[in-house]
Structure 1
Amino acid sequence: MRVLYISGAFPPMKCGVGDYLYQLLSEMGKMRNLNISLITSSECIEQMQGVSIYPIIKRWDFTAFPQIIKTVSKIRPDIVHIQYPTIGYKKYLFPSFLPVLLKVLGVKKIVQTWHEPLSRKGLFRYFPNLLVDSIIINVESDYLNKLPNFYANLLNKKIRCYIPISSNIPMSKLDNKEKLSLRKRIFKEQYQKNIIAYFGFITPNKGLEYLFQAANPEKDSILLICELKESDKYHNKIKDIINSDRWKKNVVLTGYLPDEKVADYLAIADMAVFPFIKGCSERNGSVLAALLQNTFVITTSFEKNGYFGNEHIYYVHPGNKTELEQAIIRYRKQNIHQERQSSSLVKPWSEIAMMHERIYRFLGK
């Protein structure tokens, strides 16, 4: 069975959906019953074991259509699977018309993965996506509840599947002795403090300032596994906090790191804190990356509160600095010496790939 993926992002582009797809295709490419291809942006990698990659699209506007026609005609896929959204699509409308255009080209079986809920601002952006029959995959079990009624009603009439994501970051291979050595090298004489890690993109809805308000520099050191850019107003706000008298000796900012290094840095932390303004969701890969290292996580939720043992997560209400501070105090005392636990939320990519393969087999009947 020939399956063609289409995505506006793929490594080395910095995009969570692109990283997700890389992990997924790493497993899909191992399946002997599938012939996997990918059309993606021109700045992406050209080679991957088990996958034929066509990095041919410079701009995802309607000028890309001739290249899509040529490549689809060459591959002659049985199924086309499109990822939405990606950083490569930018604000172009062309990607939303791909399902319609593919039907015109004779592709009968189409799958779409919608990674993020639509905002009211972009209410009609995905309307063209729904003009043809296709299976729609969501990565959150409560996806419909996060949509405006207009789209929820439309999607209710479609065939939908829920397939979770997993961590784009691998599990650290460091043993306990190596973790301690790395911890000492990074934090020097402060290595015995409670190390709080944050990993991921920095945007206002991540609420990073709440972490600095809730933590105590006399007892905590903060490990920021991320990049801060001079041109970004919110990034400069976080830089000002880092350089303040209160925090300037108690923060390590790593900048961009390879995936294996990210895993090691998350593994040496006593806890990882994600004070998301809108609450944590199943598609927050940074949380899954920390959990894969068996690192205790404190994050936010509108629905959950307190410690969930099977998840190894403590939830506080978004924007509640006092709750966050109390959670850090409580687990600062316990977590350094407690046995690390695995989380039920982190699925192996092989299992996620099998869920996709079952959908393709269903369509192939």
Structure 2
Amino acid sequence: MRILHIGPYPPARDGIGVYTRTLAGALTARGHETAVVSARPHPSSPPEVMAALGDPALPEKTARFRPDVVHLQFAVPAFGPRTPAVLRLLDALDAPVVATLHEAARDLALLRAPGRMLYRRLTDRCAALVVHTRDAQRAAGPKAVLIPHFCAPPPPPATTPDALRERFGLGSAPVLLAFGFIHVDKGLDVLVDALRSLQAPVTLVVAGTVRGRTGPFRLMELRDHLHERGVRASIRRHGLENRVVFTGYVPDEEVAAWFAAADVAVLPYRKAAQSGVAHLALAMNVPVVATGVGGLRELFGSSTVPPGDAEAFAKAVTEALDGGGSPSPGVPPGPEEVAARTEALYEKVLAGAA
């Protein structure tokens, strides 16, 4: 079948874009024809990107592709002010729509009534919804189908863990890796408080930066910048400058090396629907300490830590460094299995449309 994906897409700096690329690649390997409408134009877009939202030729290009199914990878931050353009495009397409909801709980908590109106408008247009956790499935209603987030290693590294240690002056101390966009809900302040009580001489690496946003969504970006500023002030206040390293944005070719350098991946989130970072850590066989929120609770079970509890988090990190990281109750599926389950959903949707 011909599958049109809509969403962020590399080289855009977005985890949902990496998810879209991996899923599209796995579906292509199963014999399907795929094309992509990216959230924003980029001069280095790969050939499978037929156009970006806002391209005047987009209606002509999508009509020429004649998709059997449209798969939208959705979160409000992924599209920002282009969200209305997404809805208009869906209305203009004749094919049935499947939408993966990546951050519905977070979007609804932040946007409140406007968010509920947006999601109602979106889900009314969809034949089926994909969610990654049981909590999200209960919240999304009868159209929601649970397909877990796949577990896949990052691209092959272009550097080594030793090279990263040398570049950032990490020495030989154990590394706690906080990977991904800096966000107020990810509990970085709690992590700094936990670091203060750790007896082991560890280094915390914050590998990421604040997600850039546009239009009115710059207010969300500002909130995250203020959060980062407060965290850095706390680090200075408690004399932890030599124990915390901020790397800035991590390019794809360095992701694997950072996880290989990590002794423990730390996810002190206050809120989370699911976490691609957790799945990267599992794929790289890195011990994880995580709070029991959302999909993290489903993934790691009773070994999680209460959110906001710095002392409990520090204790769990100490145990992980001694060889007792949070085990997963089951191995998440790989991209091939997720693609097979997604293909079965497409077939069901097409049968219903017929």
TM-score with structure 2 setting the length: 0.80
Q: Displacement, 1:225?
A: 1.2
What SS class does the counterpart of residue 35 from structure 2 fall into?
strand
What SS class does the counterpart of residue 100 from structure 2 fall into?
strand
Structure showing the higher strand proportion among its residues: 1
What residue number does 1:315 align with? 304
Q: Displacement, 1:195?
A: 2.0
Structure showing the higher helix proportion among its residues: 2
Match of 2:182 among 202, 206, 210: 202
CA contact (8 A) 1:194 1:221 kept: yes
Instruction: Decide whether aligned partners of structure 1 residues 339 and 144 sit closer, same or farther in structure 2, where only a CA change above 3 A counts.
Output: closer
What residue number does 2:133 align with? 140
Report the residue type matching 1:37 in the other structure.
Answer: A
Q: Where does structure 2 lack aligned partners over 5 or more consecutive residues?
A: 212-220
Q: Bigger radius of gyration, 1 or 2?
A: 1
CA contact (8 A) 1:37 1:53 kept: yes
Q: Displacement, 1:256?
A: 1.8
Instruction: Decide whether aligned partners of structure 1 residues 76 and 326 sit closer, same or farther in structure 2, where only a CA change above 3 A counts.
Output: same
Q: Displacement, 1:111?
A: 1.6
For residues 73-92 of structure 1, the aligned pairs below 5 Å read 73-85=63-75, 87-91=77-81, 92=83
Q: Displacement, 1:311?
A: 4.8
Report the residue type matching 1:295 in the other structure.
Answer: V
Pairing 1:285–2:269 present: no
What residue number does 2:215 align with? none
For residues 216-295 of structure 1, the aligned pairs below 5 Å read 216=198, 219-227=201-209, 232-244=225-237, 246-278=239-271, 280-281=272-273, 283-295=274-286
Pairing 1:57–2:28 present: no
User: RCO higher in 1 or 2 (8 Å CA, sep ≥ 6)?
Assistant: 2
How far apart, CA to CA, are the structure 1 residues paired with 2:310 and 2:328?
Answer: 27
What SS class does the counterpart of residue 29 from structure 1 fall into?
helix
Match of 1:124 among 117, 128, 131: 117
Q: Displacement, 1:95?
A: 2.1
What residue number does 2:36 align with? 38
Report the residue type matching 1:319 in the other structure.
Answer: G
How far apart, CA to CA, are the structure 1 residues paired with 2:325 and 2:120?
Answer: 49
What SS class does the counterpart of residue 11 from structure 1 fall into?
coil
Q: Displacement, 1:284?
A: 0.5
Pairing 1:326–2:326 present: no
How far apart, CA to CA, are the structure 2 residues paired with 1:313 and 1:269?
Answer: 23
Q: Displacement, 1:212?
A: 1.2
How far apart, CA to CA, are the structure 2 residues paired with 1:17 and 1:300?
Answer: 22
- Per-residue CA shift, 1:251-271, capped at 9, x if unaligned? 222222222322211222221
Pairing 1:185–2:183 present: no
How far apart, CA to CA, are the structure 2 residues paired with 1:109 and 1:187?
Answer: 49
- Per-residue CA shift, 1:292-339, capped at 9, x if unaligned? 211111110158999x9x95994100011221122123333x13xx79
How far apart, CA to CA, are the structure 2 residues paired with 1:304 and 1:165?
Answer: 10
How far apart, CA to CA, are the structure 1 residues paired with 2:75 and 2:260?
Answer: 30
Pairing 1:2–2:2 present: yes
Match of 2:60 among 55, 60, 70: 70
CA contact (8 A) 1:3 1:78 kept: yes
Q: Where does structure 1 lack aligned partners over 5 or more consecutive residues?
A: 59-63
Instruction: Decide whether aligned partners of structure 1 residues 4 and 298 sit closer, same or farther in structure 2, where only a CA change above 3 A counts.
Output: same
Instruction: Decide whether aligned partners of structure 1 residues 168 and 253 sit closer, same or farther in structure 2, where only a CA change above 3 A counts.
Output: farther
Identity across matched positions, percent:
23
- Per-residue CA shift, 1:189-220, capped at 9, x if unaligned? 841x3321110111111110111111237622
What SS class does the counterpart of residue 104 from structure 2 fall into?
coil
For residues 293-312 of structure 1, the aligned pairs below 5 Å read 293-302=284-293, 311=300
Match of 1:112 among 91, 96, 99: 99
Q: Figure out how many residues of one structure are paired with residues of the other and give that number.
A: 330
- Per-residue CA shift, 1:171-206, capped at 9, x if unaligned? 7679xxx75x45763576841x33211101111111
Q: Displacement, 1:344?
A: 3.3
Cα RMSD between the aligned structures? 3.5
Segments ≥4 residues shifted beyond 6 Å: 171-174, 303-306, 338-343
CA contact (8 A) 2:87 2:122 kept: yes
